[in-house]
Amino acid sequence: MDFIIISVGNELLSGDTANSNSVYMAKKLVQMGHRVKRIIVIPDDVDEIAEEVRKASEKADFVLVTGGLGATHDDVTAEGIAKAFNVELVVDEKTANRLRRFSRNEEAIRKVASVPKGSEIIPNDRGAAPAFIFRNVAVMPGVPAEMEDTFNKIIKRFSEEEYYEDTLKVNGYESQILKELNKVVEEFKDVSIGSYPKPGYVVIKFSGRNKGRVEEAKKRLEELLKVRK
């Protein structure tokens, strides 16, 4: 399946917070054999959220959104999702009743418990705001522990596909292996090949759904570079 990840938060765009949520989700999805088409970072703005989510839902099989589900003024993700699909926000009473056991702030409770009408609620066992799924869009809290809790519940509904990966460490620099690397890329178009330069060496990553082809691609580059195991 094809996924698009959208991270919401002014703190991400200002550099105050690292976007670790996207890294976590992307790695899990790829290891399951899925493809992440894009990772998008947008501000806490209703119109921006609505526009990006609407476009992403048309371009990917499934969209994953994190951030902006709290009780403060800049937590507007649920509102943005509702606007994207032209539906109203409604209070999920089950969530509201759960929150009332911990808080008497009715305004905050109703804000956190508000989701687009027709959403499926995903319990958050690590925090207050629940995740929810509307159509092909899953929305999760931005706090990493809460995102991981809800994300790992959501991905259970997606079947794993065949996926294999292997790496090759080559001493030197990318410029020294371009000819051989490009040849392997051309010969193995069904294998994803990435080149990651490090200080004094390069890591070549081979990945794909066919284990044999992944192994063959790595072996072919080894032969071209005359790398000994």
- pLDDT tens per residue across span 11-35: 999 999 999 999 999 999 998 989 9
User: Is the sign of the CA dihedral 126, 144, 154, 57 positive or negative?
Assistant: positive
Dihedral angle computed from the Cα positions of residues 183, 186, 188 and 193, in that order, rounded to the nearest 10 degrees: 80
The predicted pLDDT at position 229 comes to 47
Domain coordinates in residue numbering, the chain? 2-157, 164-225
Q: Could you please state the CATH topology (level 3) that the domain comprising 164-225 is classified under.
A: Alpha-Beta Plaits (3.30.70)
For the purposes of burial, counting CB atoms within 10 Å of the CB of 55, is it exposed (0-12), middle (13-18) or buried (19 or more)?
middle
The helix (H) or strand (E) run that includes residue 222 is: helix 211-225
| pLDDT score, position 54 | 97
For the domain with range 2-157, which CATH number is right: 3.90.1420.10, 3.40.50.300, 3.40.980.10, 3.20.20.140?
Answer: 3.40.980.10
- CA distance linking residue 1 with residue 22, whole number of Å: 17
Q: What is the pLDDT of residues 149-205, one digit of tens each?
A: 999 999 999 988 888 989 999 999 999 999 999 999 999 999 999 999 999 999 999
Contacts of residue 211, Cβ cutoff 8 Å, sequence gap at least 6: 162, 164
